[in-house]
Structures are given as structure tokens and as C-alpha cells.
Amino acid sequence: MGKPFPSSLELKAILFDVDGTITDSDPLHFQAFKEIFQQAGFNNGEPMTKEYFLKQISGKLNSVIAAEHFPLLDEPARAKITEEKEARFRSLAKEHTAEIPGLSRFVEWIKQRGLRRAAVSNSPRDNVEQVISALGLDDFFELVVIGNECERPKPFPDPYLKALQHFGVSAQQALVFEDSPAGTKAGAAAEIAVVGLTTGHPKAALLAAGASLIIEDYNDATLWAKLQRELGESEQEEQVSPGLLVQGPPDLLQLERTDPKQEVVQGIPVAQPEPPLQSSTT
């Protein structure tokens, strides 16, 4: 059973995992692991399967992955394999980084409410910073927490506890967004409510790991209905700031950019006619 959502008066911070949570990068990681591990002779050179990647690799720290898969190699040799894997991932990511659907919409929602925000990941810092930059989120994230820079990485709670400590907020004042069982366990162990995205892992696995809510992406009506219900959002219409109208049915908010001089009809800006020119006399 997941932790309860914070109330509207309690919510202060949103903490995001990166791979599979703000971008669907798991297919790129899978491709990189498959290529580099095959070259290194893992499984007698047989290609890694997607099922194996999801069960045995996704969400884990590189040092742990290398130790489990190459126990006979020394630490420098293991590090060389994982460094080659990450270099291959960054090469693939340059061409194929895209946001999870609806992320920009949710980012705007967070910014309008002045919530603190952090990226919390087990991936190497170079990878995380490349993804954040590619998505245009450098100015959005106030903090980046890396698993191997903490005493213990995910699935231990340390990375999320570090983010809470940095912002000076309690677990009951935050929400975590994760896509892997390991990351979900970390958030739940930190006593934070976790929203699980099914970008790479099934709903059952995320719920078993302690997720409080499961969504497909950031356009999921379930997410917006939950935010409205738990955080006291208006059911029909809320003016957030000049030029940004939040309007729609209670289970799905629609963000529409509007001009202050335009009228909005059913969420669609309608230009108003210009006043007639006044003739001048001398």
C-alpha cells in the first residue's frame, strides 16, 4: 500500500527520476547494454533480451550491475565496460531524446505553484545532465542528486532523503515520480508517496514496490483527477496567471496559452475584432 498523497497545504516539492520518467530512455540503455555486454562476452556472446534487461538491470547502479555480471573481473575492468556502455548511451541519446508525453504540461503546473523540484537518478551525472539539457530543463531543476554520490543508491532511500534535506521539506510534503521498481522502493522507503509510470515496467511490479498511483504518462487523466481531489484544484476553471488558463472537466485539466486581449470559448482563444478607425478632422 503506497503512502498517502500530501494535501494542498502540505505539498512543497516534486522529485523526478530521469530515465523512463522524464524521457523514455530505457530502450536506449537496453541497446547500449546489449551491444557492450555482448562485446565483453557476457552470456557467451549471446545478445541480451529485453525481458532480462528489465528484470536484472533497469534501475540499478552501474557498479552493482558490473559486479553481478562480471564477478571474475577486477574493478578497473568492470569500470571500463560500464564507461563504454555509458558512452554508447550518450551517443544514442543525442539523436533520440524526447520527453514523456505531457511532461511540459506538468512542468508548467509545477512552476505556476512555485514547487521545489529535483532530478534524482542512479545514472551517471554526465548522462543525467545531457538528458536534462536535451529536454530544455536546465532552468527547471534546482537540484540533481546522483545515486553513486550518496552513501547508498536506489533502492535505498538515501538519494530521496538527500533531496528532502536540501529543500528542508518532510516526506509528507513531497511527491516522487518513478518508472522502475528499484526507484519506487527508494521513494517508498523514504516515506514519500510515489507515482509510478508504466513506461518500462508493468503496473503490478510498481504497485508491489510501493507506488501510490500508477499512470501511463503526464497526460493521464488519473493523475490530474488525483491532483484535483487531493490538492484542492478547481473542478472546472482556475486562473493561474495572466495568459495561462486552466480549464476543462474535473478529470482532465487543459492548459491553453491565451492572449489577455482574447476571449476564450471552450478553451480556444478567439481573436476579438479591432475597434473601427476614427476619422480625424482638422
Look at the alpha carbons of 77, 83, 89, 95 in this order and tell me if their dihedral is positive or negative. Answer: negative
Band (pLDDT 50/70/90 cuts) for residue 195 is very high
What is the model's pLDDT at position 233?
62
Lowest mean pLDDT among 52-66, 90-104, 266-280: 266-280
Residue 181 shares a structural domain with residue 47: no
Angle (CA) 129 55 153, round 5°: 45
Query: Whole-structure pTM over 0.85, yes or no?
Result: no
Q: Is 70 helix (H, G, I), strand (E, B) or coil?
A: coil
- Measured distance CA(114)–CA(137) in Å, rounded: 16
CA–CA distance from 95 to each of 60, 131, 240, 278 (Å)?
24, 11, 35, 55
158 has pLDDT over 90: yes
What is the model's pLDDT at position 60?
86
Parallel/antiparallel/unpaired status of strands 268-270 and 263-265: antiparallel
Q: Which residues are catalytic?
A: 17, 19
Residue 86 shares a structural domain with residue 112: no
Mean pLDDT of 2-21: 91
Residue 114 shares a structural domain with residue 227: yes
Averaging pLDDT over each range in 7-21, 35-49, 209-223, 243-257, which range is the top one? 209-223
Residue 222 shares a structural domain with residue 102: yes
Domain that holds residue 66: 26-96
Q: Is residue 264 situated within a structural domain?
A: no
What is the model's pLDDT at position 95?
86
Residue 15 shares a structural domain with residue 73: no
Residue 37 shares a structural domain with residue 127: no
What is the model's pLDDT at position 1?
63
Q: Is residue 272 situated within a structural domain?
A: no
| Domain boundary pick from 192, 210, 231 | 231
Residue 150 shares a structural domain with residue 216: yes
